[in-house]
């Protein structure tokens, strides 16, 4: 599978300044994939995630946590990339954490799609 850099996904890329504590500074429903560019599993997942735009209720975005010093790792208790958090009007509604060595599995992502 082709690896896609964040900029070519067509999705909004969120950074530390787009969050206030544990809140996303956006209204509406956002499905946010927390990922690091150095993670090959995340890079392989991005085309699948971007392709879900329009199938999921809400806007898809990527939270760039490439830098290990990013406070977003701790704020949202990210342990594995990719991990997906769904926000409604800034508040975390639900989350789907990646699995070590697998990332977000197709089965888990499909279940998330059905729940939104």
What 3-state class would DSSP assign to 58?
coil
* Domain boundaries, given as residue ranges, for the chain: 6-115
This prediction has a pTM of: 0.89
Distance (Å, whole) CA 106 – CA 108 = 6
* pLDDT one digit per residue (tens) for the chain, 116 residues: 444 567 778 899 999 999 998 999 999 999 999 999 999 999 888 988 998 888 888 899 999 999 999 999 999 999 999 999 999 999 999 999 888 878 888 888 877 776 77
Architecture of domain 6-115: 3-Layer(aba) Sandwich (3.40)
Cβ-proximal residues to 96 (8 Å cutoff; 6+ apart), any chain: 83, 84, 85, 104, 108, 109, 112
């Amino acid at each position: 599978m082709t690896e896609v850099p964040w900029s070519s996904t067509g999705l909004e890329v969120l950074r530390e300044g787009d969050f206030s504590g544990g809140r996303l500074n956006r209204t509406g429903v956002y499905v946010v994939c927390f990922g690091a560019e150095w993670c090959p599993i995340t890079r392989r997942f991005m085309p699948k995630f971007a392709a879900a735009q329009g199938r999921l209720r809400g806007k898809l975005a990527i939270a760039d946590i490439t830098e290990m010093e990013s406070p977003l790792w701790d704020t949202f208790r990210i342990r594995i990339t990719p991990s997906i958090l769904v926000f409604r009007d800034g508040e975390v509604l639900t989350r789907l954490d990646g699995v070590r060595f697998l990332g977000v599995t197709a089965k888990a992502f499909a279940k998330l799609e059905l729940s939104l």
